[in-house]
Structure 1
């Protein structure tokens, strides 16, 4: 059975390396992040309470 498996091969891909990532490739340009405009929300006043006539 081992010879059959050796002839067929495996459907899986090769294992990925573990540990620290290789980092930034040398010579590649680095760009700053695109900044989005700041959106400030206005403070809404508290709702008025209905006046009770006595």
Structure 2
């Protein structure tokens, strides 16, 4: 048989023997929170701020 004829016949072969692939998963909107599940606030970290550096002293010029 030619490769084209084999490709045409594969649909019937797969219909008879089945396929090892899993059925497709449902798509669309997610179900959201499960009923009765407690919701918690996000843990907050303390804010770290940079310290203000004092201005540099200029070198005095000796005469």
Counterpart of 2:18 in structure 1 is 8
Backbone CA RMSD of aligned residues: 2.6
Residue number in structure 1 paired with 2:36? 27
Unaligned residue ranges in structure 1 (runs of 5+): none
Q: Could you list the structure 1 runs, at least 4 aligned residues long, displaced by more than 4 angstroms after superposition.
A: 45-53
TM-score of the two chains, using structure 2 as the length reference: 0.51
Return the structure number with greater helix share: 2
When the two structures are superposed, what TM-score results if normalisation uses the length of structure 1? 0.56
* Cα distance in 2 for residues equivalent to 1:26 and 1:47: 61
